[in-house]
């Protein structure tokens, strides 16, 4: 299985356990682990990360339903991207490197927001097809319907159980 894009990792810090939503992004330490930055995130950074996560999840869910994302969700994503402008620089070895302005945490969140923009515009972000699951995934195969093989197995097992029970 491939590693999900960074924005999907952020979005999936909201998950369900036995039908109840859980938040996997409740402390600045959890945010620091997610972003892998050398700076210590603040409470404001945590709020910004949660706002980005929620806006991306809402926009992806709207697109999955064939609807337009809410303007407020798009505004949060765009504001996060604008917080740390990005450009490419040419090195003496004639390679490129990415450069950003702003504090390290804001730059990391801006990179996540740019990743979210790319995923939303490509149209491959989906919500897991299992009713009890709330995770997002990138549909990288035409037949993929679930966030993981585990969710697919649970759906198939439930479908089989209903078929057998009905006999």
What the chain holds in terms of domains, given with CATH numbers, is 6-126 (1.10.3300.10)
CA atoms of 150 and 70, how far apart (whole Å): 31
Q: What pLDDT score was predicted for residue 102?
A: 87
Pick the closest to residue 72 from 54, 55, 50 (CA basis).
55
* Ranges of the chain whose pLDDT falls below 50: none
Q: What pLDDT score was predicted for residue 41?
A: 96
What's the token pair of residue 2? 């491939």
Q: What pLDDT score was predicted for residue 11?
A: 96
Q: What pLDDT score was predicted for residue 130?
A: 86
Pick the closest to residue 6 from 146, 130, 118 (CA basis).
118
CA atoms of 72 and 149, how far apart (whole Å): 34
CA atoms of 62 and 59, how far apart (whole Å): 5
Q: What pLDDT score was predicted for residue 167?
A: 64
Main-chain dihedrals φ then ψ at residue 70, nearest 5 degrees: -65, 140
Kindly report the pTM of this predicted structure.
Answer: 0.86
Q: What pLDDT score was predicted for residue 142?
A: 81
């Amino acid at each position: 299985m491939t590693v999900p894009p960074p924005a999907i990792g952020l979005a999936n810090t909201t998950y369900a356990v036995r039908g109840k939503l859980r938040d996997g992004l409740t402390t600045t330490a959890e945010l620091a682990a997610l972003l892998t930055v050398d700076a210590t995130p603040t409470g404001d950074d945590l709020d910004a990360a949660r706002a980005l996560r929620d806006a991306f999840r809402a926009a992806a869910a709207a697109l999955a339903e064939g609807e337009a994302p809410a303007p407020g969700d798009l505004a949060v994503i765009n504001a996060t991207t604008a917080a740390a402008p990005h450009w490419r620089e040419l090195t003496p070895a004639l390679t490129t490197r990415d450069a950003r302005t702003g504090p390290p945490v804001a730059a990391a969140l801006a990179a996540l927001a740019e990743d979210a923009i790319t995923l939303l515009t490509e149209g491959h972000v989906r919500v897991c097809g299992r009713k009890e699951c709330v995770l997002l995934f990138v549909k990288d195969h035409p037949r993929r319907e679930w966030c993981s093989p585990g969710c697919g197995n649970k759906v198939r097992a439930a479908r089989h159980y209903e078929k057998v029970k009905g006999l």
